[in-house]
Structure 1
Amino acid sequence: MFSADALIQTSGNIVGGTAGAFLGGYFAIKVMRTQIEFQRKQNQQEKEEQYEKTYWLMKLVFEGLGSSIDDFQKTMNKPDIDDKKDYPYLIGLLKGTLSVSKEKKELINDNYIPKDIYREYLAGITLFNSCEFIIERWYQTLHLDNFKISTDNYQFKDLIVYGNGMRHIFNEIESIKPIKKKVTTTGGGAK
């Protein structure tokens, strides 16, 4: 029959193999969980970095053109504005800012815009497109003899409203989803 040594050795092999398999599986699961958590944190950090880039582009687009429109309004409200001399210059400035803002707008990848601010982003783009239409139209008709912009003109008023709207929307975006401020520390200590 079976000897006691063989029975002990077989039992030892079964218990040792089972314990080894259990420990190996346990540590494999632990390593896998650690890897998944590391990957999740890395993905989250990458999303935050991509959003930060997008945030700064949105700021350049919405606040840049909005501020330029605000400056345009202030200049247009001056009593000594000269139609023939000042209009080409002022509209040229608006057109230049619009061109830079359009370039920056094209760099925005909306895949990196969090869903909690996406609606505001779309509203800002709609206002941007409306500003673009007015500025382009003015720029194209600037050479006409009867070209004049009045502060009572509906396009002027609309442009001001759209420009202020873009700045307001960016403030909304900033309040809903601000970028995380990086905390930096410097070395040193008590002596």
Structure 2
Amino acid sequence: MAAEPDYDMVAARILRRMRPEIAQEFLASPEWQAIPADLRERIYVADARWEEIERRARLDTSPAERDETPVAATQADPEPGECEGCGGPVQRAGTGRPARFCSQACRQRAYRIRSTPTTATSTAHHLAERVATSARRAADAITARTDAGPDLGRARAALAELAAMRDETTATEPATGHERSRQ
């Protein structure tokens, strides 16, 4: 014996397949209003069930279509980034937003630099701090007998920026006749 179709679901599918403007017009019509309220409610419930079935069908994909490989398996050692504060290495996590700073101290330092008015002095102080931090890290690397090259490179780059800043500053200062001679 064949199962009897669920007429509420059939009615809900018919309503869903109508163009939206026609369905709205039908639901506002006297014919729809003439249907007993309990029957209309059953069709609304069937429509909600049908919507849930369609939603699950969109979400359900075969395991072959989903990549459920853990991030750790795809990126065993994520490439480290560079700290915006000191230029040191920042280990990146496998998921989420990449870290911008290597420590809370660097984050706080960068905030202070951003929140104070930008002057040549504060920029110079920031660069000098980067030189000192990179030199300290290079010394630690040498002591630990590891590669100090990246830290020395960062220190050199910051020193070069400081030198360029000095050259710009001395080139734009008016001549007063009282310049100190460099020895």
Q: TM-score, normalised by structure 2?
A: 0.29
Structure ranking higher on relative contact order (CA contacts 8 Å, 6+ apart): 1
Q: TM-score, normalised by structure 1?
A: 0.28
Structure in which a larger fraction of residues adopt helix: 1
Question: Higher Cα Rg: structure 1 or 2?
Answer: 2
